[in-house]
Structure 1
Amino acid sequence: MVVRPGAVTGFLGPNGAGKTTTFRMLLGLVGPDGGSALIGGRRYADLAHPTTVVGAALESASFHPGRTARDHLRTYAPYAGVDDRRCDEVLAQVGLTEAARRRVGGFSAGMRQRLALAAALLGDPQVLVLDEPANGLDPEGIVWLRTFLRHLAHERGRMILVSSHVLGEVQASVDDVVVIAHGRLVHESSLDDLVALASPRVRVASPDPAGFTALAADRGWPVEQDGDDLVLTGGSCAEVGAAAYRAGLEIHGLAEEGGSLEDVFLRLTGAAPGGAA
């Protein structure tokens, strides 16, 4: 898969699909069995100043409960080559200024997610790798996260890779999607192309495929051959049946397929062979 600058890419898959493992390979924490994981064409271990190139917040992020939010960031600041002022800047970016001097042990799950994001932002990296960042956020926090990530990508040209096991959670914020299941890549496209897969599809069995092909072209329905059947996209069974009746076309069978992104997601992830990574 390839993640492009200036876009938010949703890295999707059911629990156990291998999303966190993939992120750990990207960050050099585990080695892949084959292939390579590169950031800007280089391995993470070969980056001279990694915190200015990539910022990451993995699902396993931990915090010392006795430290304040500001002190947590100050612990990492020397590795990012930044000072205390930058710590305050990123706390403001994620909405934690008022909680800067509170001990992390008293933070909610959503506040911990924001603090993990602040730590990832310390070096002002060009790439953000975020593992399930919406976990623990309330609805207001989720809306804030979507807006913030889209701003970083679209206005500041950042490359953002966000994992989730809930398609609807990221649908409003991503530009591209990568879907894995059982440790295997099963789909990679723009969000628009994935949405197109969710358009109503009607499977037609007819002794007159040429007639149906002409009908589909006249109605603007994309059509493809699938074995002995035709599959039309964009119309419902009722619409296709009514149009065929008016055109005098013989039908032996109609069946509607797809219809929602959730259906597409389940179809993609359910089709992959193998075990969980």
Structure 2
Amino acid sequence: MTSTTRTTRTASTTPSAPTIEVEGLTKVYGGLPAVDGLTFTVRPGAVTGFLGPNGAGKTTTIRMLLGLATPTAGRALIGGRSYRDHRLPATVVGSSLEPGFHPGRSGIDHLRSFAAPSGVGLARCRELIALVGLEGAEHRRVGGYSMGMRQRLGLATALLGDPPVLVLDEPANGLDPQGIVWLRHLLRRFAAEGRTVLVSSHALREVQHTVDDVVVVARGRLVHASSLAALADRAAVATYVASPDDAALGRLAAQHGWRVEPQGSGLLVQDVAAALVGDAAFAAGVPLHRLEPRDVDLEDVFLRLTSPTASPVGGR
């Protein structure tokens, strides 16, 4: 691509991108909260992963952020304004939810139908077709596109107005491994340009090599928000321990304030090294039959945070 294209801004010319602020956001359907008092911030110059299992409230939150659903309480702001209060929203926020396309329309015609509201012309549509790797397929009907091709077209649609904010709902769905790597590099480039990027996913493993920050939700509530590095610190250590005296082992864990979860015939002690568990058991006279350090990866931490027994937190 030549230096004369305007596919993406350069870091030197991009003004400070807007921050996304979600404050006490709540949405109730039929008396049940789909989103429950959610508060978090998405900063410019970073890719933020919006993570949680299916049904956690991610898409409902994004729909409220984009003015597609009205909050029961709270608010979602982009640069201090609601989406609807921006004069030309498509030039501020580019979004891709579940792609909805007319099956009889070609890829290039789909982009052309959104070009005018974004203030761009046919040249920009062609430029984005090239950027997302759909050259040679732009005149094919979208009804014949694969899921991955539709995801690429959805991203091209989000980028029409060259927005400083990108909000993408499960953008890796349907992409093959090569496509996931391509998406990762693209989003990293956007963040390097100073844009604000929010990407939802139901699997941390899918985005852990892409994101800088994480916001984790479960059952409509915030359970964790931090940098990815801070989340990784929680994956550093765990110890599996088993004793013939379960009651004594339980008392020992409670006495030391260890976070534990049942595993097999013993306990998995989170964030405590095996040597410390062994020393404490020896000092207390608690017999041990097994004492094993366990590797805990980021996906294990994510699954623990989103388990039904996890405690929600109040904010970042």
Amino acid of the structure 1 residue aligned with 2:63: R
Q: Is the 8 A contact 2:223 2:311 kept in 1?
A: no
1:18-58 CA-to-partner distances (Å, cap 9, x unmatched) read: 00000000001111121110001100010011111000000
CA distance in 2, matches of 1:39, 1:180: 20
Measured at CA, do residues 19 and 234 of structure 1 come closer, stay the same or move farther in structure 2, by a change above 3 Å?
closer
Residue of structure 2 aligned with 1:4, choices 25, 38, 43:
43
CA distance in 1, matches of 2:171, 2:238: 34
Normalized per residue, which structure has more strand?
Answer: 2
User: Are residue 39 (structure 1) and residue 78 (structure 2) matched?
Assistant: yes
1:64 deviation in Å? 1.1
Q: Is the 8 A contact 1:68 1:101 kept in 2?
A: yes
Q: Which aligned pairs between 1:5-20 and structure 2 lie closer than 5 A?
A: 5-20=44-59
Amino acid of the structure 2 residue aligned with 1:168: R
Amino acid of the structure 1 residue aligned with 2:223: V
1:261 deviation in Å? 1.6
CA distance in 2, matches of 1:230, 1:16: 32
User: Where has structure 1 moved over 4 Å in runs of 4 or more?
Assistant: 230-236, 239-242, 253-258
CA distance in 1, matches of 2:112, 2:139: 12
Bigger Cα displacement from structure 2, 165-174 vs 227-236: 227-236
Instruction: List alignment gaps of at least 5 residues for structure 2.
Output: 1-39, 242-252, 259-268
Match of 2:256 in 1: 229
1:235 deviation in Å? 6.7
Match of 1:143 in 2: 181
CA distance in 2, matches of 1:203, 1:64: 54
Aligned pairs, number: 248
Q: TM-score, normalised by structure 2?
A: 0.72
Match of 1:128 in 2: 166
Q: TM-score, normalised by structure 1?
A: 0.82
CA distance in 2, matches of 1:16, 1:273: 17
CA distance in 2, matches of 1:166, 1:234: 22
Residue of structure 2 aligned with 1:67, choices 93, 97, 105:
105
1:108 deviation in Å? 0.6
Instruction: List alignment gaps of at least 5 residues for structure 1.
Output: 205-225
Note the aligned Cα RMSD (angstroms): 2.7
Match of 2:204 in 1: 167
Amino acid of the structure 2 residue aligned with 1:16: G
Residue of structure 1 aligned with 2:236, choices 190, 196, 199:
199
Of all paired residues, the percent bearing the same amino acid is: 59
1:201 deviation in Å? 3.5
Bigger Cα displacement from structure 2, 113-122 vs 30-39: 30-39
1:266 deviation in Å? 1.7
Measured at CA, do residues 45 and 175 of structure 1 come closer, stay the same or move farther in structure 2, by a change above 3 Å?
same
Residue of structure 2 aligned with 1:262, choices 299, 306, 309:
299
